[in-house]
Amino acid sequence: MKNRRRNTLFFIILAGTALCSVTLAGGLLYEGAAAADFAQKNLPPCPAHPFGTDWMGRDMLRRTLAGLSLSVRVGGLTAAVSAAAALVLGGAAAAFGGWVDALISWITDLVMGIPHILLIILISIACGRGLWGVTIGVALSHWTSLARLIRGEVLQLKGAPYLQLARRLGVSRGRLVKNHLLLHLMPQFLTGLILQFPHAILHEASVTFLGFGLSPEQPAIGIILAESMGYLTTGRWWLALFPGLSLVGAVMLFALAGERLRLLLSPATAQD
């Protein structure tokens, strides 16, 4: 039988390396990505420009890498913020109960009730668009389902006989949280965190694509795709195809890594 742990570890290292190198490369190419060269404009893919060039002669490979790099960074930041918010809010709701629980659950329902895209656009506009607008928008709209999950988990743990027993045996509150609660929440938290990434990246790209996110001079995938729409009818397919595929690839890497991690950490499939 296949060793799932080894496969997962291998895959996560692979995905991590790929994403890190994209992020690094994109960061390094950031300056070059905006450099226009009108002598080289509208070139289809060729050895010098594997992804082609656009109407300003900018190299599409550089732009795509820079865009992906920005997406991964935004995704990472927002996923981390929203997962942390989910942990704190979900944990607090379950631990304190009463009106705290009612209030947090009400906010969760409220945020969940509004379509994601709409909420992100509203928050993004309210925060003055741009990089921070999108980041805050995505971070504030993605914590809900994980918060619910964690709330349920903590509620269940609170009633578990082994925690009741540990308390009556004189184990301190701090140790209960450290030894038991956090250990039990770790799988949900980690899986939730990694699965947040693709969501965040896609939402960032789509809000930018719709024109409510990053500004046009920034090398974002959403901007590239929005611009390329104007040229598709003139036959410049490379402008949309390669950046789009790279976005799908990055998202798939995260989603697959998260899914594998989930299988590994879930008790039902952990020993397969």
Partner 1 sequence: MEPILTADHLSVAFTRYGRGLSRIALSALTDLSLTVDAGRVTALVGGSGAGKSLLAHAVFHLLPRNAHTAGTICYDGAPLTPARARALRGREISLIPQGITYLDPMMKVGPQVRRGRRDGMSRARCREILARYGLGSEVEELYPFELSGGMARRVLIACAVMDSPRLIVADEPTPGLDSQTAGRVLAHFQELAEQGTGVLLITHDLELARTVAHKIVVLREGRTVDEVPAALFQTGEGLTHPYSRALWQAMPENGLIVDREVSVL
Partner 2 sequence: MILAGKNLTFRYPRQKGPPPVDGVSLTLSSGERIGLAAPSGRGKTTLCRLLAGWERPQAGQVLLDRLPLAQYRGFCPVQLLWQHPEQAVDPLLRLGTTLHEAGPVDRGILDGLGIRNSWLERYPSELSSGELQRICLARALGPGLRFLLCDESSAMLDLITQAQLWSFLLSQAEERNLGLLVVSHHAALLERVCTKVVSWAELVESSTSPGTAGGCG
What is the contact surface with partner 1 in residues (CB under 8 A)? 1, 3, 5-6, 9, 270-272
Report whether 30 contacts 217 (CB < 8 A).
no
Nearer to partner 1, 1 or 39 (CB): 1
Minimum separation from the CB atom of position 133 to partner 1 (A): 44
Nearer to partner 1, 21 or 269 (CB): 269
Query: Which does residue 215 touch among partner 1, partner 2, none (CB within 5 to 8 A, set by kind)?
Result: none
Minimum separation from the CB atom of position 96 to partner 1 (A): 27
Q: How far is CA 256 from the centre of its chain?
A: 13
What is the residue whose two structure tokens read 């930018």?
208
Minimum separation from the CB atom of position 6 to partner 1 (A): 5
Nearer to partner 2, 73 or 184 (CB): 184
Minimum separation from the CB atom of position 5 to partner 1 (A): 5
**C-alpha–C-alpha distance, residues 261 and 4, integer Å:** 10
Nearer to partner 2, 187 or 244 (CB): 187
Query: Which does residue 180 touch among partner 1, partner 2, none (CB within 5 to 8 A, set by kind)?
Result: partner 2
Query: Which does residue 6 touch among partner 2, partner 1, none (CB within 5 to 8 A, set by kind)?
Result: partner 1
The beta-carbon contacts of 48-55 under 8 Å, at least 24 apart in sequence, are 51/238, 51/242, 51/243, 52/236, 52/238, 52/239, 52/242, 54/227, 54/228, 54/231, 54/236, 54/239, 55/231
User: Which residues, in sequence order, are CB contacts of 236 under 8 Å at separation 6+?
Assistant: 42, 44, 52, 54, 228
**C-alpha–C-alpha distance, residues 253 and 12, integer Å:** 9
**C-alpha–C-alpha distance, residues 260 and 272, integer Å:** 12
**C-alpha–C-alpha distance, residues 35 and 39, integer Å:** 12
Minimum separation from the CB atom of position 158 to partner 2 (A): 12
Minimum separation from the CB atom of position 96 to partner 2 (A): 16
Please report which helix (H) or strand (E) contains residue 255, including its range: helix 238-265
Query: Which does residue 171 touch among partner 1, partner 2, none (CB within 5 to 8 A, set by kind)?
Result: partner 2
For 2-152, list the strands marked E by DSSP: none
Query: Which does residue 161 touch among partner 2, partner 1, none (CB within 5 to 8 A, set by kind)?
Result: partner 2
Nearer to partner 1, 3 or 234 (CB): 3
Nearer to partner 2, 1 or 162 (CB): 162
CA-wise closest residue to 116 among 81, 88, 84, 143: 143
What residues make contact with partner 2 under the rule CB under 8 A?
Answer: 160-166, 168-171, 175, 179-180, 183-184
